[in-house]
């Protein structure tokens, strides 16, 4: 009986620690969209009023949003946090296949033309010595 209880305690501790490691080490995603000055307000409207709302259905966790402007281009930049890469990939698949999102994109393109140019996507893993 003691051996059984010790084994159960060991397994429970191991599972608990494994879950804590997954929770402590999320995956971050950096998204950079080239946007156009002539219709960037329409892009912001689409992202703010539609994309973010639909992303919530798929458990996107947007941590910060920025705009970057240089002499050559304007970019929309945002960071996301995910529990793991599998969750991230599944969420993006769901979002991209979302019927409402597909219709919104069609409407905006028809009305305003392309509101997004090149898109860059980077998956980031936080290093153990990164400041909090």
Q: Where are the domains of the chain?
A: 25-125
- Per-residue pLDDT of the chain (132 residues), as tens digits, is 555 444 544 545 555 555 554 456 899 999 999 999 999 999 999 999 999 999 999 999 999 999 999 999 999 999 999 999 999 999 999 999 999 999 999 999 999 999 999 999 999 988 889 897
CB 77 within 8 A of CB 34: no
The structure's pTM equals 0.78
**For residue 12, what is the enclosing H or E element?**
helix 2-24
Write out the E strands in 36-96: 62-69, 74-82
Degrees to nearest 5, angle at CA 62 with 126 and 102: 125
Kind of pairing between the strands at 62-69 and 119-125: unpaired
Q: Match 């002539």 to its residue by tokens.
A: 38
> In the prediction, which pLDDT does 25 show?
80
**CATH 3.40.50.150 is held by the domain 25-125:** no
Residues 6+ away with beta carbon under 8 Å from 17: none
CA distance 33 to 40: 11
pLDDT for position 127: 87
């Amino acid at each position: 009986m003691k051996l059984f209880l010790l084994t159960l305690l060991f397994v429970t501790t191991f599972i608990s620690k494994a879950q804590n490691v997954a929770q402590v080490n999320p995956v971050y995603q950096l998204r950079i969209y080239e946007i156009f000055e002539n219709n960037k307000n329409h892009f912001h409207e689409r992202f703010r009023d539609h994309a973010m709302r639909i992303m919530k259905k798929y458990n996107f966790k947007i941590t910060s949003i920025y705009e970057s402007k240089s002499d050559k281009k304007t970019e929309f930049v945002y960071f996301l946090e995910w529990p793991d890469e599998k969750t991230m990939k599944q969420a993006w698949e769901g979002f991209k296949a979302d019927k409402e999102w597909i219709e919104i994109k069609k409407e905006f393109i028809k009305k305003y033309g392309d509101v997004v140019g090149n898109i860059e996507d980077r998956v980031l893993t936080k290093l153990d010595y990164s400041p909090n």
